[in-house]
Structure formats: C-alpha cells, structure tokens
Amino acid sequence: MFQWLEDHLMEPLGKIAQNRYLQSIRDAFVVFALPVILTGAIFLIIANPPTSINWGIINAWANAVEPIMPQILFPFQLTFGIMALTVSFGIGYSLASRYEDMDEVMAGILSMLAFFMTAFPVVDITQVPFGEILNYLGGQGLFVAIILGILTTEGMRWFRKKGIAIKLPDSVPPYVLRTFNSILPFMVILPIVWALAWIVWANFGVTIPQLVLDLFSPLVSVSNSYWSALGMIILMLLLWSMGI
C-alpha cells in the first residue's frame, strides 16, 4: 500500500510542498510566529503550575502567582493575541523573498498593515478597546492574515513587474529610492482594504475576520466529530510517512 502511495502520490504532493505560497506560510509560522508563541507560552506555564502534583513547593508557587495572575498572563495574552499579525508580516516578507528585486521588509509591512486594518471596526478607533480586537489579531484572524499576506504581496509584485513607480534620478540614495518604490502600492492597496473593511462593517456590522469566522462556523461544527478528527489524524500521518 505504501509503495502504491509513494508511486502515485509522492510526486504531486511533492510539487504541492514546493509551492511558493505554502512555503511562505510555513516560514511565516516557523521563522516569525514560533519564537513569539514559545515566549508567550513560558508565562502561561509560570501562571499555571501543576497543582495536581501535591508538593509543597508547587503549592507555594501557585499561591504566590495567584494574586498577580493578570500581570503574569499579560505577555502570554499579548504574544498569542498578535500571532496573526506576526504571520501576516512573515508571509509578506517570505513571499517577497522568493521573487527577484522585491523589498521583503516593505512587503511584510504592507501585509501587516492591511491585515491590521481589517481587524478593527470601521468607527472611531479611539473609542474601541484594544482587548476587543486582540482575538482577531490572534488565532481567529489567521485565515484572513494568510490570504491578505499573499494578495498584498502579489499586488506589490504586480506594480513592480509593470514598472509602476515614482521615477527618481540615479543619484538618489538607495534608502530613499526604496521608500518611493513602495509608495504607490501602499497608496493603492491599503485604501482598497480599507474600503472593503468599511463595506463589510456597514452591511454586516462585523469585521472581516469575524465575517470569515461566521461563514466557516458550519464547517467548524462538522469538524468537531469523531470521524473528522480521525480523518485528519490519518491524513497527517500519511503525509508525514511520505516525508511531507
């Protein structure tokens, strides 16, 4: 069976694994998001000692952290709360690095700003508590972060490919030229994202990440079953056994 799978599935799945978009998503999680997640997880462990182990030192630890639990969990909530924001930057950066003559940092910033804009309700943001949108910057906004990371970088690449940029003399310093090469993509893509976020908010009263969550909620409920969980485990083990 495994020989049949290797003969018939290894090559197409290998090509999928070499896809630049999938590689960029992988790098965004491993290179950019993982250090942030692991750092935040340390504070979660500190705030939740294993009290099931009835040791005096563990109980003393639990009693010591209980009064300052919110303060200890602050780094955890913040690092996990901006996970999607980190991923959006990572995808833009990683995808741009796979193209020639693209500014990786500016692509990452554009992706991050575009996603950041979708997480807020299109109202007076000075009246919006940051804690209310933190979930959308974290795990609940990952899908939108991935899509926008790809689309904004491809949009920036289109400008670059078509040569649409503010032309400056060769005597201009490289760091100034770098800025002006990115101005037009920023001035076009960010207003488009803003308009889309405004349309969604005006018609549905939710942000784009929340709208996506609402649309996919039936699939989430279906996936919360024994057979779907078993199928996902089998698929992961199958791909792992073939080195993917």
Alpha helices in 163-173 (DSSP H): none
Question: How far is the CA of 236 from the CAs of 34, 86, 212, 230, in angstroms?
Answer: 20, 25, 25, 10
The least confident of 57-61, 75-79, 217-221 is 217-221
The least confident of 47-61, 80-94, 193-207 is 47-61
- Cβ count within 10 A of residue 141: 31
Does position 237 have pLDDT exceeding 70, yes or no? no
Mean pLDDT in residue range 44-70: 85
Look at the chain and report how many structural domains it folds into. Answer: 1
232 within some domain: no
Is the model more confident about 63 or about 153?
A: 153
Residue 42 CA to residue 177 CA, distance in Å, equals 42
**For residue 26, what pLDDT band results from cuts at 50, 70 and 90?**
confident
Average pLDDT over the chain reads 84
216 within some domain: no
Give the per-residue pLDDT at 13: 60
What is the residue range of 42's domain? 1-208
185 within some domain: yes
171 within some domain: yes
33 within some domain: yes
Does position 242 have pLDDT exceeding 70, yes or no? no
**For residue 3, what pLDDT band results from cuts at 50, 70 and 90?**
low
For residue 197 the two structure tokens come to: 């976020």
Does position 5 have pLDDT exceeding 80, yes or no? no
233 within some domain: no
Give the per-residue pLDDT at 148: 95
Contact 73, 43 (CB under 8 A): yes
> What burial letters (b/e) apply to 223-243, b meaning 16+ CB within 10 Å?
eeeeeeeeeeeeeeeeeeeee
240 within some domain: no
234 within some domain: no
Give the per-residue pLDDT at 154: 95
Using one digit for the tens of pLDDT, what is the confidence trace for 167-223?
A: 777 777 777 777 778 889 999 999 999 999 999 999 999 999 999 988 877 665 555
